[in-house]
Chain A
């Protein structure tokens, strides 16, 4: 039971250090810390580490920092202003529209164009048509069979 409370207490310690603990949580935590020396030590050490973090010294910044930034920006702007982007908007649109038009065109073109028939197939169709005209009662399958037989003869 105590282990669970200690684990929870350590999480509450970190929340307290981040100012994210409500009054109820604080009350529960402090009552545990007063009874548990390990957790109390944990809280003190973690708090100390956080205080030390805030106190970490930082070297002085170059006093001419602002002017260095300004000159760097000016230098960069001189390199960039007349550069034409590789893919300007017009070019991008062209790359998009042209293939689309070609696709639509080829689709329409192939859809309407009649397929080129072979001469043999054309003759066969002609014969089949004539045969069915002459023999309207005959079924399509029988007509094909007759044509094939006559062809072989």
Chain B
């Protein structure tokens, strides 16, 4: 991929993609594949499905590029497509039997989060405590209602502003703020006993 493509603004790449430049769209894929995958993965916690949804989001975006009026809003538009696919996935999942994260850990005998951290070479006590907290946090996030989960992941994990999150989820900024407030409150309450132990030790 050409170097200057990677440095170009979204508006220019989107316009070039609309004109049929596939290299320009490749640059957009390169730019947003990781943040998009990260968002989708933490919403649904299934790697294979998350990869599939991420790919499908880019495909849908490419095929509907002509519908995007404001090229500078490509990022929020792309995440909106992904969010709709996640919601469809959730609806289809209700028809299929699901396996809980706890049963996965018991059956396989491993926690994917802890395993990933171990492979990275985390050995210090403070960091292993954080890994436990991370595993718990992941479980608590997956237990959140979908509308709260979407908002907290977009805001706290991805760093979008309230206005951007509001456009993506399709609700007013006030609703985003209140959902975020409740989501943070729930997570804090669930993790409080573990966070309290940390504070006591300190």
B22 at the interface (CB under 8 A from A): yes
- B125 CB to closest chain A CB (Å) equals 17
Which of chain B's residues has its CB closest to A58's CB? B38
30 CB < 8 A contacts A-B: A11-B181, A42-B188, A45-B192, A46-B184, A48-B198, A49-B137, A49-B187, A49-B188, A49-B195, A53-B152, A53-B157, A55-B130, A55-B134, A56-B42, A56-B157, A58-B37, A59-B116, A61-B34, A61-B51, A61-B54, A62-B51, A65-B51, A66-B33, A69-B55, A69-B58, A70-B26, A72-B55, A72-B59, A73-B62, A77-B63
- Partner-A contacts on B (CB < 8 A): 22, 26, 29-30, 33-34, 37-38, 41-42, 47, 51, 54-56, 58-59, 62-63, 112-113, 116-117, 130, 133-134, 137-138, 152-153, 155-157, 162, 180-181, 184, 187-188, 191-192, 195-196, 198-199
- Residues in B with CB closer than 8 Å to A11 are 181
The answer to whether B41 touches A14, judged by C-beta atoms less than 8 angstroms apart, is no
A50 at the interface (CB under 8 A from B): yes
A49 to B29, CA, bound (A): 30
Query: Interface centre among A46, A57, A61, A77, by most B CB within 10 Å?
Result: A57
Given A44-B199, A66-B26, A76-B63: A61 in contact with B156 (beta carbons within 8 A): no
Which of A40-95 touch B at CB < 8 Å? 41-42, 44-46, 48-50, 52-59, 61-62, 65-66, 68-70, 72-73, 76-77, 80
The answer to whether A52 touches B130, judged by C-beta atoms less than 8 angstroms apart, is yes
Known contacts A54-B157, A69-B29, A70-B26; can you find 13 more A-B pairs with CB under 8 A? Answer: A18-B162, A41-B196, A45-B195, A46-B184, A48-B191, A49-B187, A50-B184, A56-B157, A58-B38, A61-B51, A66-B30, A69-B58, A80-B63
A113 to B1, CA, bound (A): 75
- Residues in B with CB closer than 8 Å to A58 are 34, 37-38, 41-42
A46 to B195, CA, bound (A): 10
A46 to B30, CA, bound (A): 33
A11 to B184, CA, bound (A): 11
The answer to whether A45 touches B29, judged by C-beta atoms less than 8 angstroms apart, is no
- Residues in B with CB closer than 8 Å to A59 are 41, 47, 112, 116
Which of chain B's residues has its CB closest to A67's CB? B26
The answer to whether A48 touches B59, judged by C-beta atoms less than 8 angstroms apart, is no
A97 to B171, CA, bound (A): 39
From B37, B112, B156, give the contact of A53 (CB < 8 A).
Answer: B156
- A73 CB to closest chain B CB (Å) equals 5
- B159 CB to closest chain A CB (Å) equals 8
Which of chain B's residues has its CB closest to A48's CB? B195
A23 to B82, CA, bound (A): 37
Which of chain A's residues has its CB closest to B41's CB? A58
A52 to B192, CA, bound (A): 13
